[in-house]
Amino acid sequence: MRAVIQRVKKASVRIINTGEIRSIGKGLVVFLAFKQNDSLQEIKWFTNKILNLRIFSDENGKMNLSVQDINGEIMLVSNFTLYGDVSKGFRPNFMYSAEPSIANKIYKDFIEHFRSSSSLYVVTGEFREMMDIELINDGPVTIILDK
């Protein structure tokens, strides 16, 4: 599993085929990619890490607070291109990404576990759909998690 986490002031995702817009305020946008063998073990590790990353400023301006500490909001977006390998050539190779049917199950399991692990407001993108994502990166602060 791989995640790119961005601290944001606000963000929205528009699902192209329906026009539906889902938005969050201050919090985190999390782009997720899955491998074939990702399991509940990775889901639990990533959920715990994301919810407890101390990347929000405290009263002294030090990154010392988690998204839970600030009662922030979360946007989870599946993004298989995070496993795009361009070490050879210029066209990404996605051989490390899980097959769509497997990735969709892991993504659904991730969302379910994430929501049950926190009372924070959570929105999601749509698996295998084209989306327009707008965000205002706060900082900027961007963290990459890989396991």
Please choose, from the candidates 71, 52, 72, the residue with its C-alpha nearest in 3D space to the C-alpha of residue 138.
Answer: 72
Among the options 18, 47, 81, 124, which is catalytic? 81
Judge whether 29 and 11 are in contact, CB under 8 Å: yes
81 a catalytic residue? yes
**Cα 131 to Cα 128: distance, rounded to the nearest angstrom:** 9
Cis preceding-peptide flag for 100 (omega within 30 of 0): no
Q: How far is CA 2 from the centre of its chain?
A: 9
Judge whether 76 and 30 are in contact, CB under 8 Å: yes
Q: Looking at the annotation, which residues are catalytic?
A: 81
